[in-house]
Amino acid sequence: MNVRLSVLMVFIASFYFSFVQTYPCLGQHSPKDSLFLLAKNEEGSSAKEDTKVAPIPAIEAYEKEKLAKLKRNIGKRFVTSPTVNPAEFYESPDDPGRKLKVKREKDGFVITEVVKNRLGTMNFYQVKFDTGQTGYLSADGNYLEIKITEKSLLPIAKKTGPSKKTSSQLKARAFEAIELVKNHTTLIDPATGKKKSVEIRMIEQKSKSFPNLKWGYEAKQIGKDKYRVTQSSGEGAGPPLVRTWIVDLTTTDVISENLAAKEMYR
């Protein structure tokens, strides 16, 4: 029995070794197969890279058409209107978190340019307000059209011919010129390092040196969008001190005209 078992084991062992020698590469890849697979992988990756780099004409055409459509709004004028969802303006196209605080509830502005943020992912209208502020309004997703529909922004039609301004319009423009003078900065306060406005200087004079001081302003139009603003101040005895400024509402420039006004800036 043991002899038969031994013979059988020897036979199995001999058969196994002869099988391995006959098929030495069973279950393994030959070097030629590996090189073939590597070449195929490189071809596949190269094709993918070419696909990523190659421009897509349809997208380029769409972006050009979109930009052209946005630029058609350059030069259009609007007025902000207080509503439940007012239009939002930003101080910079690269920081939508910093919203621009518009000085007046109903403030006119004109679209001056179409710009992108630094990453090139968003479009904005650059706008110039009548008060001199510069802000940015979203130009993507038909935001402008939505706000016009909601009446948060009211379009102002271009004038087709010469027309006389109404009395209320003239008063509003004169008031705007006076406000620009009141808020115009003069000297730097050595204590705070900040500039003081014309109106703040007058208030300080009254509180520190002239308790009976009174003053008032008057604006007179001297040209298209140009006004001469006069400030008269005094304590009631003797002639008032008169200061004058020239104000350009188009550029919001304020220039002191007479010597008394210039003294506030020295």
Look up the pTM and report it.
Answer: 0.41
Helix H segments across the chain?
2-22, 31-53, 57-71, 143-149, 167-182, 198-208, 259-262
* Domain limit, last residue, from 94, 124, 156: 156
Residues 173 and 152 in one domain: no
Tell me, what's the pLDDT at 13? Answer: 55
Residues 185 and 216 in one domain: yes
Residues 143 and 102 in one domain: yes
| Residue 29 binned pLDDT confidence (cut-offs 50, 70, 90) | very low
Q: Which two tokens stand for residue 236?
A: 């009631």
Share above pLDDT 90 across residues of the chain, in percent, rounded to a whole number: 33
Residues 152 and 190 in one domain: no
Residues paired with residue 135 on neighbouring β-strands, in sequence order: 127
Residues 258 and 171 in one domain: yes
Residues 188 and 240 in one domain: yes
Question: 236 in the Ramachandran plot: left (φ > 0), alpha (ψ -120 to 50) or beta?
Answer: left
Residue 98 located in a structural domain: yes
Residue 34 located in a structural domain: no
Residue range 158-170: mean pLDDT, rounded:
66
Q: For residue 125, how many C-alpha atoms fall within 13 Å in the half-sphere facing its CB?
A: 30
Residues 190 and 216 in one domain: yes
Say which residue, 15 or 60, is predicted with more confidence.
60
Report the Cα 154 to chain-centroid distance in Å.
20
Question: 123 in the Ramachandran plot: left (φ > 0), alpha (ψ -120 to 50) or beta?
Answer: beta
* Domain limit, last residue, from 125, 156, 187: 156
- pLDDT higher than threshold 50 for residue 39: no
Residues 208 and 261 in one domain: yes
Q: Compute the mean pLDDT over every residue in the chain, rounded to the nearest whole number.
A: 79
Tell me, what's the pLDDT at 208? Answer: 86
DSSP letter, residue 164: P
DSSP letter, residue 165: P
Residue 138 located in a structural domain: yes
DSSP letter, residue 261: H
Residue 9 located in a structural domain: no
Q: How many domains does the chain have?
A: 2
pLDDT tens readout for residues 89-131 = 999 999 888 899 888 878 899 999 999 999 888 999 999 998 8
Residues 144 and 178 in one domain: no
| Residue 4 binned pLDDT confidence (cut-offs 50, 70, 90) | low
| Residue 209 binned pLDDT confidence (cut-offs 50, 70, 90) | confident
Residue 33 located in a structural domain: no
* Domain limit, last residue, from 156, 186, 216: 156
- pLDDT higher than threshold 80 for residue 10: no
Tell me, what's the pLDDT at 159? Answer: 59
Distances (CA, A) of 61 to 50, 58, 170, 196: 20, 5, 47, 53
Relative to beta strand 153-156, strand 134-138 is unpaired
Residue 233 located in a structural domain: yes
Residues 131 and 98 in one domain: yes
Residue 8 located in a structural domain: no
- pLDDT higher than threshold 50 for residue 25: no
**Residue 226 near residue 233, CB atoms below 8 Å:** no
Tell me, what's the pLDDT at 135? Answer: 93
* Alpha-carbon span 223 to 221, nearest angstrom: 6
Report the Cα 30 to chain-centroid distance in Å.
62
Residue 128 located in a structural domain: yes
| Residue 242 binned pLDDT confidence (cut-offs 50, 70, 90) | very high
Neighbours of 54 (CB within 10 A): 8
* Alpha-carbon span 28 to 31, nearest angstrom: 10
Residues 189 and 129 in one domain: no
* Alpha-carbon span 122 to 116, nearest angstrom: 6
* Alpha-carbon span 66 to 116, nearest angstrom: 13
Q: Which domain holds residue 96?
A: 59-156
Neighbours of 149 (CB within 10 A): 10
Residues 197 and 245 in one domain: yes
Residue range 130-150: mean pLDDT, rounded:
91
* DSSP code string of 94-134: T-TTSB---SSSS-EEEEEEEEE-TTS--EEEEEEETTS-E
